[in-house]
Amino acid sequence: MSAAMPRRRAALLAVVAVLLVLAGIPLTTTAAGRALSAVGITGLSGSMRITSCVRSPAGGHQLRYCAGEFSSDDGTVRDPDATIDADRDPGTRVTVRRTASGTYELGGAAAALGWTAVTFIGLGAVVAGLLCAAVWRRRPALGAPLARLLGLLAAAVLACALASVLGELASVV
């Protein structure tokens, strides 16, 4: 640690670095898995016939959960007690994916782009944490690696912005 950096500031920077990396890694892996499921790479594709829906108050707004019967596209799995976090009318049929944990998610471009945005937010947190760690360590050759890390962070932020705009456009169409 350099003498120019006070001890408290260095300790705070180290804590921030650890927290960013610890938050970013699970966020990235979870969101990447959901994005892969939304585009059909993982999970079991099928459809769900909505039989009933309930509204539940949460944080000043209403969430709608729907129940119904899931049928896999290949006919191997049927689940009469499937539930999904969605706003659909009873009697409609929606395309969903069953995850490895047995939950159901809507697929499609909007979901894929949204989860891709969250993936890049997680990557941005990891990169920012690594940047904090690099500054904390005060390596002698900090110039080039710092520029690379800042470039990666900027690319992650731009990717988040692009994915969120595309996700919003896809949900309107």
Identify the residue with better confidence: 170 or 68: 68
- Within this chain, do residues 122 and 164 fall inside the same structural domain, yes or no? yes
Identify the residue with better confidence: 163 or 54: 54
In the structure, what pLDDT confidence band is assigned to residue 47 with cuts at 50, 70 and 90? very high
Select, from the ranges 54-58, 69-73, 121-125, the one with the highest average predicted confidence (pLDDT). 69-73
Q: How many CB atoms lie within 10 A of CB 72?
A: 16
- Within this chain, do residues 130 and 49 fall inside the same structural domain, yes or no? no
Stretch 49-77: mean pLDDT: 87
Residue 134: which domain range? 7-37+110-172
- The confidence score (pLDDT) of residue 172 equals 47
Over pLDDT 70: what percentage of the chain?
73
**Tens digit of pLDDT for each residue in 144-168?**
666 566 667 666 766 765 676 566 5
Residue where one domain finishes, among candidates 107, 128, 150: 107
How far is residue 139's CA from residue 132's CA, in Å, rounded to a whole number? 12
Question: Is 21 domain-assigned?
Answer: yes
- Within this chain, do residues 116 and 81 fall inside the same structural domain, yes or no? no
Is residue 53 within 8 Å of residue 65, measured between CB atoms? yes
- Within this chain, do residues 58 and 84 fall inside the same structural domain, yes or no? yes
- Within this chain, do residues 115 and 74 fall inside the same structural domain, yes or no? no
Question: Is 53 domain-assigned?
Answer: yes
- Within this chain, do residues 66 and 102 fall inside the same structural domain, yes or no? yes
In the structure, what pLDDT confidence band is assigned to residue 80 with cuts at 50, 70 and 90? very high
Q: Determine if the pTM surpasses 0.95.
A: no
How far is residue 27's CA from residue 156's CA, in Å, rounded to a whole number? 14
Select, from the ranges 60-64, 115-119, 146-150, 153-157, the one with the highest average predicted confidence (pLDDT). 115-119
- Within this chain, do residues 74 and 114 fall inside the same structural domain, yes or no? no
Question: Is 167 domain-assigned?
Answer: yes
- Within this chain, do residues 121 and 100 fall inside the same structural domain, yes or no? no
How far is residue 16's CA from residue 132's CA, in Å, rounded to a whole number? 7
Domain tally, the chain: 2
- The confidence score (pLDDT) of residue 169 equals 59
Whole-Å CA distances, 144 to 2, 134, 141: 19, 12, 7
Question: Is 2 domain-assigned?
Answer: no
